[in-house]
Amino acid sequence: MSRTRRNQVSLADRADRHTLYEESVQDPESELEFVSETFETLNGRPLRFIREDFCGTANTACHWVHDDPEHRAVGVDLDSEVLAWGREHHLAALTPEERSRIELIEGDVMTAETPRVDALLAMNFSYYLFTTRDSLRAYFERARRALVDDGILFLDAFGGYEAHRELEERTEYDDFTYVWDQASFDPIQHAMTCQIHFEFPDGSELKRAFEYHWRLWTLPEIRELLEEAGYSSVEVYWEGTDEETGEGNGIYEPADTGDADAGWICYLVARK
């Protein structure tokens, strides 16, 4: 092997895990469209002020304030490194006026004090890190106190019979492959460890770019805990099916029953 080959920097070495995550996992435009349209349908007024819990790089919050001069946002996350990345890459790209309408707080979602908001978002299954009924109920109670009188809590959830398996799923993108790794699952505790890896055309890998230790909550459990936390109504918004492909069509509507799919993602909408 030549010296040049040995010293060549791999694509994995040059990769930014946060950029890869946002490209492969997040879709703030579609998510915010669902949140804002659902909020206005239920409350008869436009959504203005959101709080993004477990906000990470604050990608969603920054999209929100950039979208409309009347939009405001606050993001809360414990991880100083991730927040710093978000400030450098997302907040820096905003205008000074847009930055005046967003606040990022390094802190615990259970203790952070923020102004009361129209909608609170806890997405990407982030609240699955609460692994007991008491701790998850306490979070839902805390979130409810952060809402205005007609405020709404928005959550996503995932499941399906493949969610109980240890498996790897690969999704190809132009410059990398996204690997979702359900590394372990305990059927007694419903405890799971999930990891995200990235693979590159030069054969290099970014292993365990992200790792999560979660409880796989069921929809009945989540709904019951939201009701116990005092929410006046809780609806599941289930994704419709494209008649030609048999795949999800990206349209989420209230539903009382769902299909027994191998894997599904839905929203829960809890009104204060």
Over the stretch 191-223, which tens digit does the pLDDT of each residue have?
Answer: 999 999 999 999 999 999 999 999 999 999 999
DSSP letter for each residue of 170-195:
EEE-SS-EEEEEEEEEETTTTEEEEE
Parallel/antiparallel/unpaired status of strands 177-186 and 49-53: unpaired
- Between CA 252 and CA 242 the distance in angstroms is 12
Does 129 lie in the same domain as 43?
A: yes
Does 145 lie in the same domain as 129?
A: yes
Does 75 lie in the same domain as 30?
A: yes
The answer to the question of residue 192 being in a domain is: yes
DSSP 68: -
Does 206 lie in the same domain as 108?
A: no
H or E, element range at 258: none
| Residue 52 · residue 127 · CB < 8 Å | no
Phi, psi of 35, rounded to the nearest 5 degrees: -60, -50
The answer to the question of residue 65 being in a domain is: yes
- Between CA 52 and CA 67 the distance in angstroms is 16
pLDDT of residue 242: 81
The answer to the question of residue 8 being in a domain is: no
The answer to the question of residue 7 being in a domain is: no
Strand order of the sheet with strand 177-186?
167-172, 177-186, 191-199, 205-215
Does 141 lie in the same domain as 169?
A: no
Does 232 lie in the same domain as 112?
A: yes
pLDDT of residue 7: 66
Count CA within 13 A, CB hemisphere, residue 142: 18
Convert the pLDDT of each residue in 155-182 to its tens digit: 999 999 999 999 999 999 999 999 999 9
The answer to the question of residue 6 being in a domain is: no
Does 237 lie in the same domain as 168?
A: no
The CATH number assigned to the domain holding 92 equals 3.40.50.150
The answer to the question of residue 149 being in a domain is: yes
3 state DSSP class of 271: strand
Does 193 lie in the same domain as 138?
A: no
Does 152 lie in the same domain as 137?
A: yes
Does 165 lie in the same domain as 262?
A: no
Average pLDDT in the chain: 95
Convert the pLDDT of each residue in 127-139 to its tens digit: 999 999 999 999 9
Tell which residue, 158, 159, 157, 152, has the closest CA to residue 234: 152
The answer to the question of residue 230 being in a domain is: yes
Domain range holding 232? 18-159+217-271
pLDDT in tens, the chain (272 residues): 444 455 689 999 999 999 999 999 999 999 999 999 999 999 999 999 999 999 999 999 999 999 999 999 999 999 999 999 999 999 999 999 999 999 999 999 999 999 999 999 999 999 999 999 999 999 999 999 999 999 999 999 999 999 999 999 999 999 999 999 999 999 999 999 999 999 999 999 999 999 999 999 999 999 999 999 999 999 999 999 887 787 888 899 999 999 899 999 999 999 99
Select from 190, 214, 238 the last residue of a domain. 214
The answer to the question of residue 5 being in a domain is: no
- Between CA 267 and CA 158 the distance in angstroms is 9
Residue type, 31: E
pLDDT of residue 245: 81
The number of domains in the chain is 2
Does 125 lie in the same domain as 30?
A: yes
Cα 142-146-151 angle, rounded to 5 deg: 115
- Between CA 233 and CA 138 the distance in angstroms is 17
Cα 31-156-211 angle, rounded to 5 deg: 105
Does 145 lie in the same domain as 265?
A: yes
Select from 214, 237, 253 the last residue of a domain. 214
State in Å, rounded, how far the first CA of the chain is from the last one: 64
3 state DSSP class of 138: helix
Select from 170, 189, 214 the last residue of a domain. 214
| Residue 86 · residue 58 · CB < 8 Å | yes
- Between CA 19 and CA 28 the distance in angstroms is 14
